[in-house]
A = this chain, B = another copy of it.
Amino acid sequence: MREKVTVCEVGPRDGLQMAKTRMDTATKIAWITAMAEAGVPEIEVGSFVPPKLIPTMADTDEVTRAAVRLPGVLIVALAPNLRGAQNAYEAGAHRISVPVSVSEGHSRANLNRTPDEQIAEVAKMIAWVREQPRRMEVETACSTAFGCSIDGVVPTASVVRVAAALAAAGADMVTLADTVGYGHPAQIKEVVRAVQAEIGSKLDGLHLHDTMGLGIANALAGLEVGVRNFDAALAGLGGCPFAPGASGNIVTEDLVFMLESMGFESGINLDALIACRRYLAEGLPNEARHGHVPQAGIPKTFRALAA
């Protein structure tokens, strides 16, 4: 029996929101369908935000309604506020992901609120969600947990404070996001351990960017302190509109290659996952597609290890 690790594909949300061109809705749904068929267990499909703010997310309602009909995949949607949570619920999302910046500067730029104001919003969202007849999970993501392009260093104590407040507010799970990709492996371990000491297994995932080339090493560091849930984006798409210099998410293909090589079970068929890149080539022809494994090809040693 191999130990399980969950990869959440965030390309359709975090990968597309910064894209220079807009992927059409049909291609987006075909891409999400193909990833689900490749065995991706969780997919973050969009963001319930005003289309004026992020036009690439304007079809999130339609995409979510299609995605939740796919068998065997948990569909996540980002919701920054109560209105977003209500819309995600109506569309049938299985889980919402609510961003809460740890750093003041990013919080104001991204959400136009202080961290404490956003924590209060989360409490309102959770109260509303719990009153509904259908269960919808509420994940809260601590943005800028490993550094901020506006405020610089983010103290570990600040991350612990926000994570603890979110757990106390009743979030089903708390994740830590290296939104701008400034984190390093020793820091990942330090912050994860400090948050685990405060909220235990409610800390349930890492969201990592590869800005400095340390994204996969940071995932390894997370694995080594017990994290078993990682966000990643196909072809390393992504960025953050309020994080200058931030490059893409960690590459799903390379992450899955590492996890499976190390003996973890992701449930993902790596060949089928790589084949999903064709939707990016078709739907976002001008966007850079990152990833080493797709370029080099899956080595013969990988087959041997899997056998």
Interface residues of A (CB under 8 A from B): 147, 149, 152-153, 180-182, 184-187, 210-214, 216-217, 219-221, 224, 245-247, 251, 254, 257-258, 261-263, 291-293, 295-297, 299-302, 304-305
Contact = CB atoms under 8 A, between A and B. Distances in A.
A189 to B, nearest CB: 10
Given A217-B216, A257-B212, A292-B213, A301 B182 contact: yes
A299 B186 contact: no
A273 to B, nearest CB: 14
A285 B220 CA distance: 35
A299 B247 CA distance: 13
Contact of A292 (B147, B153, B247, B304): B247
A185 B218 CA distance: 12
Contact of A185 (B211, B220, B251): B220
Contact of A263 (B186, B214, B305): B186
Nearest to A292: B213
Contact of A296 (B211, B216, B295, B296): B211
Contact of A217 (B186, B211, B219, B263): B219
